[in-house]
Copies of this chain bind each other. A is one copy, B any other.
Amino acid sequence: MPAFIFDLDGTLVDTVYQHVVTWHTALRKNGFDLPMWRIHRKIGMSGRLLMSALELELGRSIGEDTAKALENAHTEEMKKMRDSVQVFAGVGDLLETLRKADVPYAIASSGSKKDIGAFLEMLDLPDGVPAVTQEDAKNAKPDPQLFLKAAEKLGVKAEDAIVVGDSVWDMLAARRAHCLGVGLLTGGYAESEMTAAGAYRVYPEPADLRARLHEVGVNIKEN
């Protein structure tokens, strides 16, 4: 039986578009202009890699102090949008189905404990579900470390883990960790982008994955 590793932002909680507009605001407050769609395609990267990607787009370097200011501004702006964040429909059912079938699962997020705490709480996870964050890996996604750490905490080989994510960075990190990548459309990527990034299957939302668990090799006996 495989195990599951779930990305959090954009996969279990609907936060990608808030991240886009809040990064846009944080950047503008610090004097950087970047179109929204370019920010969108970078959400889900680790903060440090995001800064390097922004430097490339902007054609100038972002110092350590500015990087810190940007991250703080983003955190502040996200707090203002907290009320708009919802858990995707079907997440509770999906996780409960896995629990009943004794299929272990973990959460693996590029975010910091501080930033994702409120979202984790919204999931109301049972005791013992590992949640791996930025603090647990030197390099976050698309580096494979986060997923390898999550597999380790689950006590399974990475090869036996199914990574569920909404961004191409999840799929890239899954591939590098030798996990099976499964994509969702909840992050606003096209199915073709997720497939090109290595997704074995792409489902619209968590509820659709729940309905098709057999397609990823999980034998759930419906009752």
Contacts and interface: CB of A to CB of B under 8 A. Distances in A.
A164 to B, nearest CB: 15
Interface string A76-111: 000001001010110000000000000000000000
Given A37-B187, A185-B37, A24 B28 contact: no
A35 B186 contact: yes
A16 B37 contact: yes
Interface residues of A, number: 28
Contacts of A185: 37
A193 interface: yes
B21 A86 contact: no
Contact of A192 (B37, B186, B192): B192
A40 B88 CA distance: 15
Contacts of A187: 37
Nearest to A193: B190
A25 B40 CA distance: 19
B84 A28 contact: yes
Nearest to A196: B192
Interface string A143-162: 00000000000000000000
A180 interface: no
A40 B188 contact: yes
Given A17-B17, A33-B86, 14 more contacts: A14-B35, A17-B21, A17-B37, A21-B81, A21-B84, A25-B84, A28-B84, A35-B86, A35-B88, A35-B89, A37-B187, A40-B188, A188-B188, A192-B193
